Structure 1
């Protein structure tokens, strides 16, 4: 029970900060927040993604490219030009690292107001930090795992951020239904998207990329949006009007 709680906590906390901070804030600027709160959410993204921390600048550049070139050869992670999900993850990693390490300059249209924090970026990407988080996850399992098969979950902890991205980019552009014709292959995979906290409403999101609520029909539910509404009411963030 302890291992299950730990796994689910890591899964959903890592996923929340990926969709809330990296996707909806860093990439799309769906809401505003002051500098202090930006630092809080930046640090929480680092802590809860842990060994798979994703640099907000590199993430934002790649995601903006994904919208501009959705499901074309210039899309950094379209499943329609790659034979399997492992190839998609590898290609995404290569492009991500080229921006994260400033080896490649993005096109001017993708350079715009993404959050940066050099100290956290440097610490989060250091191999000692990533290994340290991995050692922590492993030690927790050694202490609390009651069956051998539980250790099979450890690779998911190590690569949590990229795994979330692979699920969204692969499934969200191959499987499901469409509400809109977006001239791409984006799909809504799950009408009740608790598993990925709204990220699998890809067809809706590609239709209205700056709308904070990814659900568009009566039977759809984006669980991240009510959290954002609450933070808006608490004046921690200010949602954009769309």
Structure 2
């Protein structure tokens, strides 16, 4: 039971900071916040993504490219140009690392207005940080696992961040229904997207990329949006458009 609680806690906290900080804030600036809270969220993203920390600047650039070139050959992670999800993940990783290392210059329209903290980026992306988290995950399982099959969950901890992104981009552009004709293959995979915290409302999101609420119909639920509304009410953040 302890292992399952740990796994689900890591899954949802890692996913929350990916959708809340990297996606809705870094990529789209759906809300504003103070420098103190921005840096707090930056550190929390590092802690909860752990071994699979994703650089906010590189994430924002790739995500903006994804919107601009959705499901075309210039899309860095459209599932319609790869034979399987692993090939798509590897292709995305190569492009992502080029922006992390400043080996590639993004188009002007994809640059700027994203959080940057070079010191944390260097530490969080270092091999020492990643291996330290890997060692922590392994030690936790050695101490608390009560059955051999639980160790099969360990690799998911190691690649949690990229795995979340792959699930969203693969499933969200192949399976489900569409509310809008966006000129791409974006889909809403499920009307109750609790498991992926609203990220699988891809069709809605591509139609309204700056809306903090990914759900658009009465039967759809984006579980992160009420959290944003509460944080807006508590003045931790200020929603760009509170709807």
TM-score, normalising length: structure 2: 0.99
CA drift of 1:241 comes to 1.9
Secondary structure at 2:97's aligned position in 1? helix
Equivalent residue for 2:66?
Answer: 66
- Who is 1:50 aligned against? 50
Alignment deviations for residues 138-170 of structure 1 (CA, whole Å, 9 cap, x no partner): 000000000000000000000000000000000
Matched residues in 2 for 1:112 and 1:120: separation? Answer: 18
CA distance in 2, matches of 1:118, 1:86: 29
- 1:185 maps to which residue? 185
The 2-side partners of 1:190 and 1:179 are apart by 12
The separation in 2 between residues aligned to 1:238 and 1:86, in whole angstroms, is 37
**CA deviation digits over 1:109-136, x for unaligned, max 9?**
1002110011110000110110000000
Give the Cα separation in 2 of the matches to 1:240 and 1:128. Answer: 37
TM-score, reference length from structure 1: 0.99
Q: Identify the residue that residue 172 of structure 2 maps to in structure 1.
A: 172
4+ residue segments displaced more than 3 Å: none
3-state DSSP of counterpart to 1:105? coil
Aligned residue number for residue 150 of structure 1: 150
Note the 1:1-242 alignment, pairs <5 A: 1-241=1-241
Contact 2:192–2:220 at 8 Å: present in 1 too? yes
- The answer (yes or no) to whether the contact 2:180–2:207 under 8 Å persists in 1 is yes
- Once residues 157 and 38 of structure 2 are traced to their aligned partners in structure 1, the CA distance between those partners, rounded to angstroms, is 25
Q: Deviations over 1:51-100 (max 9, x none)?
A: 00000000000000000000000000000011100001000100000101
Number of equivalenced pairs: 242
Hey, what's the Cα distance between the residues in 2 that align with 1:118 and 1:101? 11
For residues 3-22 of structure 1, give each alpha carbon's deviation from its aligned partner in whole angstroms, at most 9, with x where no partner exists. 00000000000000000000
- Aligned-pair CA distance for 1:190: 1.1
**Structure 2 stretches lacking a partner, 5+ long:** none
Q: Which runs of 5+ in 1 are unaligned?
A: none
CA distance in 2, matches of 1:52, 1:223: 23
Task: Tell me, yes or no, if the aligned pair for 2:212 and 2:241 is still in contact at 8 Å.
Answer: no
Contact 2:176 2:190 in 1 (8 A): yes
